[in-house]
Amino acid sequence: MNRRPAGALAGIAIVFLLTALGGAAAGRPIPAGVLEVPRPVAPTHDVVRGAPGAVAARISATASSQRYLVGDGSEATIEVSVTAACADLCTAAEPQRIASFVGTLPHGFEVDLLEVQLDTPFQLELDCGYGAEACYYSGEDRIVLSGDEEVDRDGATRDFVLAHEYGHHVAQHRELPSPFASAIDWGTERWASVEGVCQGRRLGKLFPGDEGDHYYEDPGEAFAETFAHLRFPEMPVRWRYLGALRPTAASLRAVEEDTLLPWRGRTGLVLSGRVPARGEGAAVESIPTPLDGTVTLRPIGLHRRGYELALRSRAGRLLHDFRLRATAAQTDFTVCGQSRLRLELRSRSARPTPYKLQIQRP
């Protein structure tokens, strides 16, 4: 996962901070500007990390934690932590309010795994990087958020930012079919298929998991922002991500379905019938493939002479062709934006013969 700038920037900031503090302890003056965190190459609103560094761990160690009901009518709870400094200085460090708001977000089983940590603005920059409004530690299911109630330059409230981070939390606990990477990088399965993430990646327009120079072309970030817009459809928050990923009715519906009814894996079907004799045409089948991912075709009990199978798009463009024999185990094809596959099966026998294909699709 190529989550770059904030982690590197926080590390630089920590080195500067510890060096400066060490100098002060020795009686040496601190140079002007040494405590400033350098700006990233590209602005980042938040960052996703695997695990906290040493300074972030020290900040977290000062926090007091408790579980709070989310108030969705179930017994679901989340853990809310408030750092010692935030408990003294923050203006809106209200754990139950945070938990109750999370309960208003679309959520599933992942809600019980969540921890929200409230920081002071200074701690937030050490935890998340310069300019970041929040961050998500995927390895710890933890959102780090400001303990102050603020509205950012794009019109996003703290609740909107928290909803964005919860979108990352949802994606962290959703599966994608092979050959794709994690949903926290690509977005969830239905959303990524609706938004054409696979095609965008192949065309070099989308960069899953890259929060460096391509932060705004990272579909994982666009997914999280779409999740926030699902909760706040009327909030006039500026869309900074790739225009092609701007929320639509279809993408918002996909986010909601992926959250409430997670994709559980591929489904199977069996096609069977008779194929004409060699040279007399083909048996034609059409299967819908609304979701991207690997489609597996496995022959069952084929005639020893075998078959030739061609896969075409809805428009008839040849996508892949291969020979199937009785000894063939299976063949795979990656659906990347094709909403339907046309299968043309031709026999190599001089007589019409039966066929059967077992298919697994996303």
Mean pLDDT (whole number) for 18-27? 36
Q: DSSP 3-state assignment of 295? A: strand
Write down the residue that tokens 């990390």 correspond to: 49
Shared-domain flag, residues 132 and 220: yes
Q: Say whether pLDDT at 358 is over 50.
A: yes
DSSP 74-94: SS-EEEEEE-HHHHHH-S---
The DSSP code sequence of 220-242 is: HHHHHHHHHHHH-TT------S-
247 and 302 fall within a common domain: no
What mean pLDDT, rounded, does the chain reach? 85
Residue 23: what pLDDT? 37
Please tell me whether residues 196 and 281 are part of one structural domain. no
pLDDT at 15 over 70: no
Give the residue from 244, 260, 276 where a domain finishes.
260
Clarify whether residues 200 and 285 are in a common domain. no
Query: Is residue 287 domain-shared with residue 241, that is, in the same domain?
Result: no
Indicate if 236 and 287 belong to the same structural domain: no
User: Is the domain of 250 the same as that of 308?
Assistant: no
Q: Given this model, what pLDDT does residue 168 score? A: 98
- Band of the pLDDT at 154, cuts 50, 70, 90? confident
Helix (H), strand (E) at residue 67: strand 64-69
Q: Are residues 9 and 130 in the same domain?
A: yes
Distances (CA, A) of 7 to 3, 29, 52, 321, 344: 8, 28, 9, 46, 51
Q: Is pLDDT above 70 for 69?
A: yes
Give the domain-ending residue among 235, 260, 285: 260
Mean pLDDT, residues 318-346 taken together? 82
The C-alpha atoms of residue 146 and residue 117 are separated, in whole angstroms, by: 8
Both 13 and 57 in one domain: the answer is yes
90-126 pLDDT, tens digit per residue, is 999 999 999 999 999 999 999 999 999 999 999 999 9
Same domain, 274 and 248: no
Cα distances from 330 to residues 246, 282, 298, 313, 341, in angstroms, run 38, 20, 4, 20, 17
Domain C-terminal end among 260, 280, 305: 260
User: What pTM did the predictor assign?
Assistant: 0.84
Higher pLDDT, 152 or 64: 64
Same domain flag for 79 and 212: yes
> Does 1 have pLDDT greater than 80?
no
State pLDDT tens for residues 214-232: 999 999 999 999 999 999 9
pLDDT at position 20: 35
Q: Which burial class, exposed, middle or buried, applies to 331 when counting CB atoms under 10 A from its CB (0-12, 13-18, 19+)?
A: middle
Q: Which domain range does residue 356 map to?
A: 267-361
Q: In whole angstroms, what separates CA 89 from the centre of its chain?
A: 34
Tokens 């092609």 found at: 244
- In DSSP notation, 112-175 reads GG-EEEEE-HHHHHHHH-TT-SEEEETTTTEEEEESS--B-TTS-BHHHHHHHHHHHHHHHT--
pLDDT in tens, 281-326: 888 999 999 999 999 988 776 655 577 888 998 888 999 887 765 4
CATH code for the domain in which residue 321 is found: 2.60.120.380
Tell me: pLDDT of 345 over 90.
Answer: no
Q: Looking at residue 83, what is its pLDDT?
A: 98
Q: Are 195 and 187 in contact (CB under 8 A)?
A: yes
Share of the chain above pLDDT 70, in %: 84
- Among residues 303, 350, 342, 293, the alpha carbon closest in space to that of 323 is found at 303
Instruction: For 346, list phi and psi in degrees, rounded to 5.
Output: -120, 135
Number of domains observed in the structure of the chain = 2
Please indicate, yes or no, whether residues 238 and 289 belong to a single structural domain of this protein: no
What six digits make up the tokens of 126? 């050490």
